[in-house]
A and B are shown apart, each in its own frame.
Chain A
Amino acid sequence: MFDFFFNLPVIVQGLIKGLAVICVIFPIAGVCSMAERKVAAWIQDRPGPNRAIVPWIAWIPFVGTFLQRLGLFHVMADGGKMLFKEDSLPGHVNKFYFIAAPILAMIPALTTVTVVPFGAYLSATGEVMPLALAPLDVGMLAVFAVASLGVYSLILAGWASNSKYPFLGSVRASAQLISYELSMTLSVIPVFLWINAPGREATLGFARAVEFQSQPGLWGGAWFGFLMPVSAFIFLVALFAETNRTPFDTIESEADLVGSFHTEYGAFKWGLFFVAEYSHMIVGSAVFVLLFFGGWNPLPWVPLATLVNWLGHFLPCAHAPLFVGVLSIAIFLLKTLFMIFFFMWVRWTVPRFRYDQVMKLGWQKLLPLSIANLLFYAVAIAFIQK
């Protein structure tokens, strides 16, 4: 069925995949921004965006009004605004780096997406195989390596803006992002220690992590979120700091730094930063779901294969590869979007830490905790697998 795709030249395949990433990430980021506004509105007891509407949809009775109230068309309005408003270039900036910074922000944001598996399909032999644009064996490492490049764009933006608030913000960014990468990396090592049983081919890919969480049995079916709650917690906290979200958004911190590194940006260049931020959130949430919340398995102790078999009793098409693929993508996307909702939920509930408190938390609390956690699981896993 998909043979024609694999018969294309490799470069064309790559281009199509790249286009797919852009076509998926930009709309999701747009929808996320809308969701952010809507979730904020719900939390703050107000209707939120509910005005924009396309005329011919407004003519549909009930449905049109409902979509308008839902604010669905604000995505288009916001995106259109980003694209078409004047892309001003302040006179006092370092022009080359000023333009390069948002582009540089997009590169890690879009690259990391490719290595994250987003679903599964049933192979001819009935095995659940992961779906990813670039199924790397060093997936986790690739995500960490590439995602950490994101900090350069922030530093560059702050420096090129040639203005004091962005400068302060980028200094904060460089310190904060690097500090939290440590605990984040240390928090996932126990997962890979666990899934890499001695004698098996070693991997840092996500597929094995999900595969492990899809096994039958009490231990196998348990998600790592239950097996390693501390790891999951550290990863989540570090993720908040890495993606620059409240309560760790000291980098952006509009109250004191007026938006910091993107203060001088506007229009589409600002939009690129925005998309990059959401893209980091999406990838971070996806990694979190893959490692700690069972990937595309619907429930703990209920792997995807079980669900498909159970559905097979009612639906004749349940075992079709396409159906399984869509089902797994839907489950995975749902979980990831829930994580993003969680991000928003937290953002609109709590105040923001001060910059020095963020650093103290990272170095004095989270890092020792993640080291202790790693040591504990190293010993425990050695004991279990002996």
Chain B
Amino acid sequence: MATELKFPDSAAKAAGAEQEFSPEQMSLSMGPSHPSTHGVLRLQLELDGEIVIKCDPVVGYLHRGDEKIAENMTYNQFVPYTDRLDYLAPLANNMAYAIAVERLVKLEVPARCQAIRVLTAEMARISSHLMGLGAFGLDVGAWTVLVHSLNQREHLYKLFEELTGARFTTSYTRIGGVSRDVPAGWLDRVGAFCDQFLPALEEILALLTRNKIFLDRTVGVGVITKADAIAYGITGPNLRGSGIALDLRKDKPYSGYEQYEFDVPVGTKGDSYDRYLVRGEEMRQSVRIVRQIIKNFPGGDWFARDARKIFAPPKDKILSSMEELIQNFMLVTEGPQMPAGEVYFEAENPKGILGFYVVSKGGGVPWRLKIRSPSFCNLSILPKICVGCLISDVVTLLGSLDFVMGECDR
């Protein structure tokens, strides 16, 4: 079910303007700088009154060539770039990338490292969904929801800062481990956050869930049927909102997700309201996972001991032993030497399935790194569901799809 994507070319438009537009229609360029296009998405709309009769999403305003950049740097150097994909959940991106490369080397990280990664990924999921929820609220006119969810996100960012040293662009994982162990007492503070977060979340959701105006705005708006959702490759909460219980954390568990108990919420109708409900429930489930991790937090190493070719040797050895000094020098200049091969790994990120396809021909840099970004695939359905909506519905739709342009444009 390919969609006909027609990119508006100004010269062609001017030439064919008279045939293409009948006088009743109006073309409206929504974005790239528009308050509700969440970054730099541009929608070229054609309107009949206020009703959208055609919608062409124009993406690429935030294209930085991440995939090409990856070919020019060592594997560990690319970690900061993964922060800038879905910049609302950098920890989850870091983890997905690290696991992809680890699969290439067939490296197993210890249980403690896995637990730390899952913990941070779930916290990132909460943070990302909070932002999505707040932005959705803002799109339908409920400012207060945004500010209350930002308030909660601030608690999370403080915890992230304590753990990784950065609030936003965390760059936390390394190939074969994480950049540092959890600080003393940090887990207790995460637990305390969970305790205060659940009631606060209920309070935030209560502003919308049963609100008549919100129901009017979202129920039945932007329905994505099961067939469409599969055909367009939609993933994440948007797919589950349409009633398909695909969650890689359950279906293809990685990093020890199989140990944790959680439910996968699914919607029934696939409208904007269902997607909102799914996100709300996923936050509760994430808290459940976080609590389980804190309860049985594994001891031991927080990085893979056998990753000698990847991690720098201990500092005292570097300063005293020639072998280690040379190894460190090689690691820094040429990068960790990887075997030749190719691997595709996809992780269930807050926005959907984030996949990394790494092709290595040996050496310290990937030969090709392809990123499958969920936001890009999720946005592909816009030309289909926008038709027949009002302009205000387009905004609701964009809010409910919860995309991030950094990831979409890469």
Contact = CB atoms under 8 A, between A and B. Distances in A.
B32 to A, nearest CB: 13
A289 to B, nearest CB: 26
A255 B50 contact: no
A352 B213 contact: yes
A255 B395 contact: yes
A353 B213 contact: yes
Nearest to B51: A356
B207 A349 contact: yes
Interface residues of A, number: 28
B392 A43 contact: no
Interface string B13-54: 000000000000010100000111000000000000010000
B147 interface: yes
B151 A46 contact: yes
A45 B188 CA distance: 25
B141 interface: yes
B277 interface: no
A148 B299 CA distance: 72
Contacts of B139: 255
Interface stretch (A68-76, A200-208, A244-252): A244-252
B394 interface: yes
B141 A249 contact: yes
Given A255-B395, A354-B393, A356-B390, A44 B140 contact: no
A258 B143 contact: no
A357 B212 CA distance: 12
A258 B216 contact: no
Contact of A351 (B36, B147, B217, B391): B217
Interface in B134-183: 137-144, 147-148, 151
A334 B140 CA distance: 32
A234 B139 CA distance: 27
A253 interface: yes
Given A44-B144, A255-B139, A255-B141, A351 B213 contact: yes
A354 B217 contact: yes
Nearest to A353: B213
Contact of B141 (A44, A165, A352): A352
Given A164-B28, A354-B393, A355-B390, A255 B144 contact: no
A36 B224 CA distance: 39
A1 interface: no
Contacts of A164: 26, 28
A78 interface: no
A230 interface: no
A40 interface: yes
Given A164-B28, A255-B141, A355-B390, 10 more contacts: A168-B50, A246-B141, A247-B141, A253-B392, A258-B35, A348-B143, A350-B142, A351-B142, A353-B216, A354-B392
Interface of B: 26, 28, 34-36, 50, 137-144, 147-148, 151, 207-208, 211, 213-214, 216-217, 390-395
29 contacts: A44-B143, A44-B147, A44-B148, A45-B151, A46-B147, A164-B26, A168-B50, A168-B391, A246-B141, A247-B141, A249-B141, A254-B35, A255-B141, A255-B395, A256-B36, A256-B394, A257-B391, A258-B35, A350-B211, A351-B213, A352-B213, A353-B217, A354-B216, A354-B390, A355-B50, A355-B390, A356-B390, A357-B216, A357-B217
Interface of A: 40, 43-46, 164-165, 168, 246-247, 249-250, 253-258, 348-357
